[in-house]
């Protein structure tokens, strides 16, 4: 997951994403990339360094210049990890999670409720502070210590 986060953070910059798009269609040197993106060569070099560190591009010396290419296998791996995220099952109980372990198990009894949220947040029609007592009872069971009543705000 750390590798995925690093790659996503790297691609979150518009210039780096544009560099990657250009490099997907052409092997280019720093000068050509700078000219195409209308940024300085120093800026392109710094962005390429981050893309290299994330394993998304590699450089190949060709005469005096280094030409950069996209590590397509790495990019496909990243796309696969993102696809895998969409395959995670939705918790069938529709409840929020109280504490996050290394493994999220929505079937554990002790993780059924957040400290400050309704058990069925999808039933709320307004902000938690605007809930009616009936909504609180329907979502939470009772109003004592519930975030919507304001009694438990210090615990958040």
Within-domain flag for 86: no
- Determine the Cα–Cα distance for residues 125 and 84; give it in Å rounded to an integer: 32
Give me the DSSP letters along 90-151: PPTT----SS--SS--TT-GGGS--SSS-S-GGG--S-GGG--HHHHHHHHS--TT-GGGTT
pLDDT digit string, tens, across residues 95-128: 444 444 444 555 454 444 444 455 556 665 566 6
Within-domain flag for 95: no
Same domain, 52 and 116: no
Within-domain flag for 138: yes
Within-domain flag for 88: no
End-to-end CA distance of the chain: 28
Provide the residue-wise pLDDT of the chain in tens; the chain has 156 residues: 688 888 999 999 999 999 999 999 999 999 999 999 999 999 999 999 999 999 999 999 998 999 999 999 999 999 998 898 888 776 655 544 444 444 455 545 444 444 445 555 666 556 666 677 777 666 666 656 555 555 544 443
CB neighbours of 100 closer than 8 A, spacing ≥ 6?
none
Q: What is the CATH number of the domain that holds 59?
A: 1.10.10.10
Same domain, 66 and 124: no
Within-domain flag for 97: no
- Determine the Cα–Cα distance for residues 105 and 118; give it in Å rounded to an integer: 18
- Determine the Cα–Cα distance for residues 144 and 156; give it in Å rounded to an integer: 15
Within-domain flag for 83: no
Same domain, 14 and 56: yes
Same domain, 115 and 70: no
Chosen domain end from 60, 76, 92: 76
**Total domains in the fold of the chain:** 2
Same domain, 6 and 72: yes
Model pTM above 0.85? no
Range of the domain at 11: 2-76
């Amino acid at each position: 997951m750390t590798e995925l986060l690093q790659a996503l953070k790297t691609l979150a910059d518009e210039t780096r994403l544009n560099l990657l798009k250009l490099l997907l269609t052409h092997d280019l040197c720093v000068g050509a990339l700078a000219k195409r993106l209308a940024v300085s060569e120093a800026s392109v070099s710094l962005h390429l360094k981050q893309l290299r560190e994330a394993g998304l591009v590699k450089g190949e010396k060709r005469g005096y210049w280094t030409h950069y290419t996209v590590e397509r296998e790495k990019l496909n791996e990243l796309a696969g990890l993102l696809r895998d995220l969409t395959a995670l099952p939705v918790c069938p109980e529709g409840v929020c999670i109280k504490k996050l372990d290394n493994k999220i198990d929505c079937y554990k009894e002790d993780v059924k409720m957040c400290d400050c949220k309704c058990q069925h947040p999808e039933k709320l029609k307004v902000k938690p502070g605007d809930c009616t007592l009936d909504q609180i009872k329907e979502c939470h069971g009772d109003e004592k210590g519930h975030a919507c009543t304001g009694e438990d705000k210090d615990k958040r």
